[in-house]
Amino acid sequence: MQFVPQHLKDLIVVKSSPNYCQITSIVLMLISSVAAAAPPEPAGIQLKIEPLGSISGSSQWDWWQARTAYLPGNTPMWLTTMSETGKATSHDFHDIYQSVSNDHGKTWSAPERIPSLQRQQQSDGYEVAPGDLWPSWHAATDTILATGKTFNFRDGKKEDYLREKVSYAVMERGKAWGPLRFLDLPHRDHAGYPIIAANAGCTQRSDQPGGDVLLPIRYARDPKNRNYTSTIAQCSFDGNQLSYKRHGTELNIPQGRGLYEPSLTAFNGNYFLTLRADHSAFVTRSKDGLNFDAIREWKFDDGTPLGSYNTQQHWVTIGGCLFLVYTRRGADNDHIMRHRAPLLMGQVNTETLQVIRDTERVVIQENHATLGNSGICRISNTESWITCGEGLLRLGKRKGQHNKVICVRITATSLLK
């Protein structure tokens, strides 16, 4: 089926069946009341997709790896963190900034540097910058926990990935961000390989009711081969310190850079993990969030490959359904680097682990910028936000322009017949 670009619509209907969504008995009764002359159609959820306020970059810096956290309460707050990034070369990451909204994303404060999350000069000549952060509210401790990685630059210029670490920072309600801290991990994995250059950059975690964190991480096993293995680290978190307890299945492919930037979600008694690879993207399922089935390549429900490759995919759980957010080939986007725009969302058949092609919708339109580095902020069972900083490097029509951090709200408004 050829992809047809769409403008954002106020209302879209994602078709589903009882195999994909939980449907209440009330809705079933309403469906059954339809006149006999018109047989009832498959049930679905009505989603409203709407753009929110944006945050502009500057003539010197772009905002990359922008992601939003929601802090609930009597005066709810939305907080977006983003990396100050140079325009000339990839991975020129500097300080972490934040912007705050107190009006449901309609407007955002001017970005402010977070003093504890600045790029720092080390005594050995390296400069270290926190990056690829994903902030999210940790309900059990009422804090915002941001997890990610470090970027390490020899003499401030040459990046050294072997020095990467799983980094994190904590913001208590009403206080400033605490210092950048690092997660201690075992020296070797279950298979006996060394755990090298571990990081949690751009990974979507799952928090447990008791407060434990299931944190997706990736690491290398050989300093001479940049091939990543991904796993889930179960960690305790007391509102201050994140501590490793154990980790689960070690997932790897020998091709390219292996499996990396894993993202995890819990849905209907199972856990689902999506994984980036250079040439494609993969998915797997688990009962406990640690022990996973064999991976399989992402495909549409007609059996054709999804076409997402060399970038992230993330999860949205809303309205009793599971959705994947991704970019892919074949969306009239050959002019975009690695086909990283438009940003798409499709419902997942949780039995077959396939994206239902007929449910695919554009959530952020292509505008001559890459949109591969997105983040999900779950507000409730009926609302989630997608945040994405535009990438303008090496792109023609908008090179030199100010980039934008784009926020989109997705709301499940009702069940329809």
Residues 355/306, Cβ–Cβ less than 8 Å:
yes
Higher pLDDT, 338 or 393: 338
Read off the pLDDT of each residue in 395-403 and give the average, rounded to a whole number: 80
Higher pLDDT among residues 317 and 23, named by residue: 317
Give the model confidence (pLDDT) of 253-270 as tens digits.
999 999 999 999 999 999
Confirm whether 344 is domain-assigned: no
Tell whether 368 is covered by a domain: no
User: For residue 114, is it within any domain?
Assistant: yes
- Please count the structural domains in the chain: 1
**Is residue 128's pLDDT more than 90?**
yes
Residue with tokens 């994602």: 14
CATH of the domain at 136: 2.120.10.10
pLDDT by residue (tens digit) across 380-395? 999 999 999 999 866 6
What's the angle, vertex CA 197, arms to CA 196 and CA 198, rounded to 5? Answer: 95
Give the structural domain span for 270.
51-312+388-416
Q: What is the pLDDT of residues 56-102, one digit of tens each?
A: 999 888 999 999 999 999 999 999 999 999 887 788 899 999 999 99
Report the predicted TM-score, pTM, of the whole model to 2 decimal places. 0.89
Closest C-alpha among 221, 107, 105, 104 to residue 162? 221
Greatest alpha-carbon pair distance for the chain in Å reads: 79
With b meaning 16 or more CB within 10 Å and e meaning fewer, what string describes 207-238?
Answer: bbeeebbbbbbbbbbeeeeebbbbbbbbbebe
Nearest Cα neighbor of 417 from 19, 47, 15 is 15
Of 11-20, 90-99, 185-194, 389-398, the one with minimum mean pLDDT is 11-20
Q: Quick check: is 360 in a domain? A: no
165-179 exposure pattern, b = at least 16 Cβ within 10 A, e = fewer: bbbbbbbeeeeebee
pLDDT value of position 414 = 66
Name the residue among 355, 343, 220, 332 with its Cα closest to residue 281. Answer: 355
Residue 236 lies in a domain: yes
Q: For residue 5, is it within any domain? A: no
Nearest to 114 by CA among 138, 86, 84: 84
Question: In this predicted model, what pLDDT tens digit does every residue of 271-291 receive, in sequence order?
Answer: 999 999 999 999 999 999 999
- Lowest mean pLDDT, pick from 189-198, 257-266, 327-336, 407-416: 407-416
Confirm whether 101 is domain-assigned: yes
In a domain, 153, yes or no: yes
Per-residue pLDDT, 371: 96
Q: State the amino acid at position 378 in one-letter form.
A: R
Residue 116 has pLDDT above 50, yes or no: yes
Q: Is the confidence at residue 360, as pLDDT, over 80?
A: yes
Q: What are phi and psi of 240, to 5 degrees?
A: -135, -55
Residue 11 has pLDDT above 50, yes or no: no
Backbone φ, ψ for residue 366 (5° rounding): -70, 130
Dihedral (CA of 27, 29, 34, 40) sign: positive
CA distances from 266 to 175, 241, 273 (A): 30, 23, 9
Q: Where does the pLDDT of residue 46 fall: very low under 50, low under 70, confident under 90, or very high at 90 and above? A: confident
